[in-house]
Amino acid sequence: MDNSKVSIHRTKKFGHGVYADKAIHKGEVIAVFDGPIYDDDFEPWTDDMFNHAIQIGPKLWRDSKGIARLLNHSCEPNCGIKGLNRVVAMREIKPGEQVTWDYEMTEKNKYWKMKCKCGSEICRGQIGHYKNMPASIRKKYTGYISDWITKK
């Protein structure tokens, strides 16, 4: 399910990241959260799961078997979420660019937050719950926010 035009490299600041080896077109699927599904009551929730699984429902999370769990967050990302679990390019991505998405596109978990140092001029400083995402950013991401948040 992983796009063949990306590969994993070490980044200077954030551990591993996923980078484009070749140009990627708007609409291409980069990776999919196609792994195990966990609910609220699952035991034990590990730090690794907590940090890498995405929210797909009010009390449901899903991990990936591939590179989706290694994609970094950016407050100025080149990818978004289609459906519940597909990470898709929102614009053309040039070779050498890091592939990123905005983690608030899926999360409505009051227990999860993360300090962000993505370096973008529009970095929000801390990310977590979707309710904190500014209206202008939501508008920019139209069509790329998880279905479980936008489709009631």
- Give the interface segment with Zn ion, choosing from 19-27, 62-70, 74-82, 106-114 (CB under 5 A): 74-82
Decide if residue 118 touches Zn ion (CB under 5 A): yes
Choice between 38 and 141, CB closer to Zn ion: 141
Decide if residue 133 touches Zn ion (CB under 5 A): no
Decide if residue 116 touches Zn ion (CB under 5 A): yes
Q: How far is the CB of 134 from Zn ion (least distance, A)?
A: 12
Contact set for Zn ion, span 9-68 (CB under 5 A): none
SS (H, E, C) the chain: CCCCCEEEEECCCCCEEEEECCCECCCCEEEECCCCEEECCCCCCCHHHHHHCEEEECCEEECCCCHHHHCEECCCCCEEEECCCEEEECCCECCCCECEECHHHCCCCCCCCEECCCCCCCCCCEECCHHHCCHHHHHHCCCCCCHHHHCC
Decide if residue 137 touches Zn ion (CB under 5 A): no
Choice between 123 and 137, CB closer to Zn ion: 123
Amino acid at 59: K
Q: How far is the CB of 98 from Zn ion (least distance, A)?
A: 13
Q: How far is the CB of 19 from Zn ion (least distance, A)?
A: 18
Q: Where on the chain is the footprint of Zn ion (CB under 5 A)? A: 75, 116, 118, 123
